[in-house]
Amino acid sequence: MATTVTAAQVNELRNLTGAGLMDCKKALTEANGDVQAAIDFLRKKGAKVAELRAGRAAAEGVVIAKTSADNKKGVAVYLSCESDFVGKNETFVKFAADIADLALEKAPVTLEDLLNLDLNGSTVKAQVQEKVSAIGELINVTAYETITGESVVAYNHMGNKIGVLVALNKGLNDAVATVGKDIAMQIAAMNPVAVDASGVPAEAIEREKAIAKEKAVAAGKPANILDKIAEGAGNTFIKENTLLTQPFVKDGSKTVAQVLGGAESGLTVTAFKRVERGAAK
């Protein structure tokens, strides 16, 4: 039995990809309503697919990234709201910062743990609800990330749109702090999926290979080179989407790994977290 594609599904796919109405409807029909499969279908057919904007269309608010006094731990908190007006309010921003400070002090493991912590006499969850009632907007602590390392650098992008935490394998000094901030800005701008190839999900690489192979078939490429094309696509995906192999944004002649090693011998990133305003968790 064929899946019935609704107008809401078509609109969701259009918002995610920027593809045309009829292209989205056909893709969803072919994919039996599966949005990710429909996105892959559009890419395989060469339809115009904009950068994915899943969950980013309407949410406002602030992202606060902070580190502990010893620079060994960092947290990033996203306090979301509906309007830019509320998101820029000083009291709202301070509330987000207070939640981040609480997270640094108490080290909750999960977002739910954070919501249940006491903040000035009542739980974070209760205080969020009070603000919903007072302001009349939907407000949530939408994301909470934490990280540890020999040193951790935090970076807050202009207007608290993005918060980044970078863990490094060396103790903090001036050189590590400087390059750590540069790398955090790189992460904010380039949105890598992992530190290196070992952190990239195998299914993501296989998806890129499959898409490249199908596009090559559609373009009439000979069968004996399809595997080579697919392998090249997988390698390109890893190079462009893993932090250490990305070209450094301030000097494209160097990779991020080379920049780190140039700042201090043996220096590398062990982990990172990136939280973006509007991004669904």
Packing angle between helix 7-17 and helix 21-30, nearest 10 degrees? Answer: 110
Residue of 54, 60, 75, 66 whose CA lies nearest to 139: 60
Nearest-angstrom CA–CA distance, 41 and 24: 9
Residue of 131, 167, 126 whose CA lies nearest to 150: 167
pLDDT of residue 51: 43
Over the stretch 165-181, which tens digit does the pLDDT of each residue have?
999 999 999 999 999 99
| Residue 74, CA distances (Å) to 133, 153, 203 in order | 31, 8, 30
pLDDT of residue 263: 96
Average pLDDT, the chain: 88
Mean pLDDT, residues 189-213: 90
In order of start, what are the domains of the chain with their CATH numbers?
1-54 (1.10.8.10), 60-196+259-276 (3.30.479.20)
Nearest-angstrom CA–CA distance, 208 and 162: 27
Q: Is 92 helix (H, G, I), strand (E, B) or coil?
A: helix
Question: Which amino acid is it at 243?
Answer: L
Q: Largest Cα–Cα distance of the chain, in whole Å?
A: 70
Is the pLDDT score of 182 beyond 90?
Answer: yes
Give me 6's structure tokens. 């609704």
Which residue has better confidence, 206 or 20? 206
pLDDT of residue 189: 94
Q: What is the 3-state secondary structure (H, E, C) of 220-237?
A: CCCHHHHHHHHHHHHHHH
Nearest-angstrom CA–CA distance, 65 and 277: 12
> Taking the model in full, what pTM does it have?
0.74
Burial of 70 (0-12, 13-18, 19+ CB in 10 A): exposed
Q: How many residues comprise the chain?
A: 281
Predicted confidence band of residue 279 (pLDDT cuts 50, 70, 90): low
Nearest-angstrom CA–CA distance, 255 and 243: 9
Residue 95 in contact with residue 125, Cβ under 8 Å? no
pLDDT of residue 56: 38
Over the stretch 34-69, which tens digit does the pLDDT of each residue have?
888 888 888 777 655 544 433 433 479 999 999 999
Q: Is 76 helix (H, G, I), strand (E, B) or coil?
A: strand
Residue of 272, 270, 193 whose CA lies nearest to 238: 193
Residue 55 in contact with residue 280, Cβ under 8 Å? yes
Predicted confidence band of residue 14 (pLDDT cuts 50, 70, 90): confident
| Residue 121, CA distances (Å) to 96, 118, 160, 252, 266 in order | 17, 6, 27, 51, 46
Residue 111 in contact with residue 141, Cβ under 8 Å? yes
pLDDT of residue 57: 39
